[in-house]
Structure formats: C-alpha cells, structure tokens
C-alpha cells in the first residue's frame, strides 16, 4: 500500500491508497465542516472498523460498510446520550439500547432508526412501557407499574 495525503474540495485524507489513488486500508479523513473519520477504507469508502467524530458533539465507534454505519456500534453525545447496538445502512436497526441524559432508556428492537418490534422503555421515575413498538410509537400493552431503580454509585 502507498501512503498519501489527498486534498479535495470537502476535506483532506491522510493514509493508505490503492492503485487508483482512492483511500484503501487505514487512514484519516478530516472534512471541511470539522467532522473527522479515522479507520478502515475499501476502494474510497469507509469499510470495517472506524471512529467518526461529528463537530456537533456526536461520536460513533464501530463498524462501517459501504460508507455507512453498519454492524455493531456505539454512538455517544458529549452531554451523555448514548446508543449501543446494531446499525444497518447508517441507521439504528436490530437490537440496541438508547440511554438518555435524563435517565430514561429504551432497550429492544429497532428498524430504520425507530423503536420497532419488542422493547422496553424505562422512565427515570420507574414507569415502564414494555411490549410492541411500531415506527417509534408504543402499540403494546401499557404497564404503568413503577419499578424500584437502584441508585448509581
């Protein structure tokens, strides 16, 4: 592999390239808008393991395929909101857990970025909604039961 520095109108790439001068192997791309990706590339696209840091405060660490988050990954915002789970074509898809800074959290199935399928939303006050979700809306049996949450240490 050849290591090069490539400049484009939308950023700068430092890393390995293929014979067609496209990012291939390990490298770092810094976008003009301040976003930065460090990880693996295949024929000019993010592919494999990588870290994508958005200037808005979000940081994704995990798998990429065809330039999108795909596979297992973790998305964290600097204020504390966190998603750990599966992605498909850049969206939360499969099984995952979203933890809000408020203490609320959802754990269950996702489809195209929405709560979808079986899941449990637990509110900070202990209220629980467990059952079926469709496109982000709770459609299953509502449980107004409060559970006793243990304090974090």
Cβ atoms of 23 and 36 within 8 Å: the answer is: no
CATH code for the domain defined by 79-147: 2.20.110.10
In whole angstroms, give the CA distance from residue 61 to residue 85: 11
Please tell me the predicted confidence (pLDDT) of residue 148.
Answer: 43
Element (H, E) at 120: strand 114-122
C-alpha closest to that of 4 among 34, 44, 32: 44
In whole angstroms, give the CA distance from residue 24 to residue 149: 48
Domain regions of the chain by residue span: 1-55, 79-147
Please tell me the predicted confidence (pLDDT) of residue 142.
Answer: 56
CA 67 to chain centre: 13
Predicted model pTM: 0.87
Residues of the chain with pLDDT under 70: 1, 141-153
Please tell me the predicted confidence (pLDDT) of residue 130.
Answer: 94
pLDDT tens per residue across span 65-87 = 999 999 999 999 999 999 999 99
């Amino acid at each position: 592999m050849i290591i090069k520095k490539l400049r484009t109108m939308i950023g700068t790439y430092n890393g390995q390239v293929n014979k067609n001068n496209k990012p291939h192997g390990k490298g770092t791309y810094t976008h003009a808008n301040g976003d930065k990706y460090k990880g693996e590339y295949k024929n000019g696209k993010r592919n494999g393991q990588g870290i994508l840091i958005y200037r808005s405060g979000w940081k994704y660490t995990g798998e990429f395929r065809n330039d999108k988050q795909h596979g297992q990954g973790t998305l964290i915002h600097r204020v504390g909101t966190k998603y750990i789970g599966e992605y498909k074509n850049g969206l939360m898809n499969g099984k995952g857990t979203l933890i809000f800074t408020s203490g609320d959290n959802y754990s269950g199935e996702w489809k195209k970025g929405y709560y979808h399928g079986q899941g449990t939303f637990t509110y900070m006050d202990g209220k629980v909604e467990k059952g079926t979700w469709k496109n982000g809306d709770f459609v299953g049996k509502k449980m107004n039961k409060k559970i006793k949450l243990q304090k974090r240490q």
